[in-house]
A and B are shown apart, each in its own frame.
Chain A
Amino acid sequence: MGCQGRGMKARNEAVSPVFFSEPELRFVEAATERLIPDEEDGLGAKGAAVAVFIDRQLAGPYGLAETWYMQGPWQHGTPEQGYQLKLTPAQVYRAAIRNVDSHCRQTYANKSFAELAPADQDNILHRLEKGDAELADVPAKVFFDMLWQNTVEGFLADPMYGGNRGFAGWELIGFPGPRYNYINEIEQYGKPYTRPTVGLLGRDGTKVRGG
């Protein structure tokens, strides 16, 4: 339903990570590219710069779990009791990337996750998703769920956070961006909405807020 990606050339600029090391960034780029592939339209995690988004998020209050209750004691609970780890999201990523890359080097002739063939990467992601893979320092499923959630966020949040670059995610699905007034359009049932996509910083979907 969305239209072809615009501003593809603007999406391929390299950005220095603020949280990840270079190898960690390559892991996240590779993983997110499998989770939402670019394909021919460029409207995937790579085109949308999802890894940049995740990098910035982990350096900020979310990554540090600033608003979460992080006091002990820490006990395993039931699934209904939710997250009970001592780790912040930033620590979850760091530990999981270390564990997964270590597993990859042992299993795939000393290659890191980022160096594997896409089919092998998919295989590992599926196993993390199901909790089949045993990671030393963090439950696999917790990491996968967090990574997938942050990937969707990075794909579909306002581009000012570093992802959804050039409105890649919004154009895929046909969301025109945050707009103020649909009084005249809401009763035009079945009519496509054709105004250009906008973000909170305007029509330039490559503008990122802050540094």
Chain B
Amino acid sequence: MVGFGWTASILAQELTDAGLQVLALERGKFRDTVPDFATTHIQDELRYAVRHGLFEEPERETLTFRNSIDQTALPMRHLGSFLPAAGVGGAGVHWNGQTWRFLPTDFKIRSHTEERYGKKFIPADMTIQDWGVSYEELEPYYDRFEYLCGISGQAGNIKGQIQPGGNPFEGPRTRGYPLPPLKRSAATMKFDKAAREVGFQPFPCAAANTSQPYKNPLGVQMGQCTYCGYCEWFGCGNYSKASPQTTILPVLLRKNNFSYRTGCDVTRVNLDSSGKRATGVTYVDLQGREFEQPAELVILCAFAQHNVHLLLLSGIGQPYDPKTATGVTGRNYAYQITSSVDVFTDEIMNSFMGAGALGQAIDEFNGDNFDHGPHGFIGGGYIVLWTTGGRPILQHQLPADAPKWGAGWKKAMAKNYLTSASIATHGSVMSYRDSYLDLDPTYRDVYGNALLRLTFDFHDNEHKMSRFITDKAALIAKAMKPRSIKVNQRDGHYSILPYQTTHNTGGAAMGSDPKISVVNRYLQSWDVPNVFVMGSSVFPQNAGYNPTGTVGALTYWAADAIKNMYLKNPGPLVRI
């Protein structure tokens, strides 16, 4: 396993059970609840949220970025838009825990859209494609991930029966969540009331923050979330946020057929002379020494775009060229388009009492849950009020007329900190011919390897969609009867500077057609059958939901394919 985060932990647990010798190579260091996330020091906004204490360091690896092909890509010199991790547990340590399933239609977005709206509805440069796997096939694996984590939520659709209080738009599930929803905050209660008044059907968001003590199917015990408000970008010291550490590692680390090495930076997947078989990987240790690690099976479990970088450096799959629209590796990069509406009231909301996935949302305007015909765009997103915390430096909002600094700023802070909240929209991003990953011609990492180059911008489709759902968010905001609201549209070009989400997707798309995908429906490389690729790298485009639930489900799905099919008969699992 390259990397030792969520996907490596899930796979290692499954494959060691199947009798394999599994080794995880992690570039960062070992981390665990004790001592690294102890509550005596972890609630330090400056160190972790502002100075990025748990994240990867651009000094060691970053990427170059440009909006369009006619620009020169420049290095992302410090983190901003997205915050990948380094260290055991990966981003599974510092995520919020917002856990969603994609919609059934998300997995067949091209065929469904063509069927409902006609082929011409899809712009010529929009390269969306079906995933090659269906929601129905993944359903049992979503369930596995949800029960692993102890997700706290209210089901909306059990075997086709709509459940009161849940998301009426979700795909059918076999059973409810393992735990009931988290307690509601003052702000989410107000949102719920307002959303109902406007005619929507709000529900509590599914949370990987345990609402009660919980023992998962592996026998690992988790605590009860205490609403401390230091979730995203922090480790949980309370054993109440699902992470590899709190759900899998206590069992995995005891196994004789599992081992891991930290401080090991994988720089290549090595192929034999045919180019169709991986012999192992090359990595560099903390002293700078290079090693070759032989392996029968190589699974890329690094963060999203890092997997794609490795594929490109290793020559796996033909690199994508946007000018000729040929090649596959690096193709179909996508992201998320977000916006918000700040709400200023005269009521105490105490948002510093929060949890990473404590939210109330509506899903009327996600996926194809509504008729897109009159609107002329594809996709959508959920609209939510999150109470994740009230950390003073980064989690305050001020009215539009508040001075930017000075005595007036002070006054506005004193007046609004306890009494404001923010409604967010979380929108899909489609894939396009000119949104992709390749190798930079100029900039290098500390090993002299070419940095990954990202070419990406929001397109008209995304702007239209985002404006549409932001308007709906403003409707709900006004129904909360605030003193004032402030609409923060996501206009203009995509910028690498402000934090948005760490939901980078694509570059190693999964699919049924090797001409437009890097891996098949079992996440196996078409070109090198003993290489598999995990994570959101395989998303052919991104939906209007956080990716981790789907990443977890796909990992269990791939684990089953490896255990039940590949190990019995190594070779391509899909023959064309």
Contact = CB atoms under 8 A, between A and B. Distances in A.
Interface of A: 1-2, 34-37, 39, 43-44, 61-62, 65-71, 73, 75, 77-84, 122, 125, 129, 148, 151-153, 156-158, 161, 169-170, 172-176, 178-183, 185-187, 189-193, 200
B500 to A, nearest CB: 12
Given A82-B78, A182-B229, A200-B44, 16 more contacts: A35-B406, A36-B409, A39-B407, A39-B410, A69-B62, A77-B72, A80-B497, A81-B496, A156-B393, A172-B414, A178-B43, A178-B44, A179-B228, A180-B39, A182-B228, A190-B186
Contacts of B52: 67
B497 A174 contact: no
15 contacts: A1-B418, A44-B410, A65-B78, A67-B78, A68-B77, A81-B65, A82-B497, A84-B74, A129-B404, A156-B392, A179-B43, A180-B228, A186-B185, A186-B353, A193-B353
Residue picked from A2, A169, A176, A186, most chain B C-beta under 10 Å: A186
Contacts of B393: 152-153, 156-157
B353 A80 contact: no
A173 B59 contact: no
A191 B348 CA distance: 7
Interface in B386-409: 390, 392-393, 396, 404-407, 409
B59 A175 contact: no
Contacts of B347: 190
Contact of A82 (B80, B418, B419): B80
A67 B418 contact: no
A1 B419 CA distance: 9
A77 B183 contact: no
Nearest to B62: A69
A173 B51 CA distance: 22
Nearest to B57: A67
A97 B407 CA distance: 23
A47 B553 CA distance: 52
B228 A187 contact: no
B147 interface: no
A92 B494 CA distance: 26
B183 A186 contact: yes
B404 to A, nearest CB: 7
B417 interface: yes
Nearest 7 A/B pairs, CB to CB: A178-B43, A173-B417, A156-B392, A157-B46, A182-B353, A80-B495, A67-B57
Interface of B: 39-41, 43-46, 50-52, 57-59, 62, 65-67, 71-72, 74-78, 80, 183-186, 189, 224, 226-230, 238, 347-348, 350, 352-353, 390, 392-393, 396, 404-407, 409-410, 413-415, 417-419, 442-444, 493-497
Contacts of A153: 46, 50, 393
B444 A200 contact: no
Nearest to A160: B44
A170 B51 CA distance: 19
Contact of A158 (B44, B350, B419, B496): B44
Contacts of A169: 392
Nearest to A85: B77
Contacts of A175: 352, 390, 392, 417
Contacts of B392: 156, 169-170, 173, 175
Nearest to B407: A37
Contacts, number: 166
Contacts of B75: 69, 71, 84
Contact of B41 (A43, A75, A193, A200): A200
A176 B390 CA distance: 10
B59 A69 contact: yes
Nearest to A79: B495
Residue picked from A75, A80, A180, most chain B C-beta under 10 Å: A80
B406 A34 contact: yes
B76 A82 contact: yes
Contacts of A182: 226-229, 353
Contacts of B39: 180
Contacts of B230: 178
B186 A200 contact: no
Contacts of B46: 153, 157-158, 161
Nearest to A39: B407
A69 B227 contact: no
Contacts of B414: 1-2, 172-174
B45 A158 contact: yes
Contacts of A181: 226-228
Contacts of B58: 67-69
B413 to A, nearest CB: 5
Contacts of B45: 156-158, 178
Nearest to A176: B352
Contacts of B59: 66-70
A44 B444 CA distance: 44
Residue picked from B51, B77, B352, most chain A C-beta under 10 Å: B77
Given A2-B414, A69-B77, A82-B77, A200 B40 contact: yes
B71 A78 contact: yes
Contacts of B72: 75, 77
A129 B405 CA distance: 10
A35 B405 contact: yes
A130 B52 CA distance: 28
Given A83-B78, A161-B46, A172-B414, A71 B444 contact: yes
Contacts of A161: 46
A115 to B, nearest CB: 20
Contacts of A34: 406
Contacts of A176: 352
Contacts of A193: 350, 353
A77 B74 contact: yes
A173 B406 contact: no
Given A37-B407, A200-B43, A190 B50 contact: no
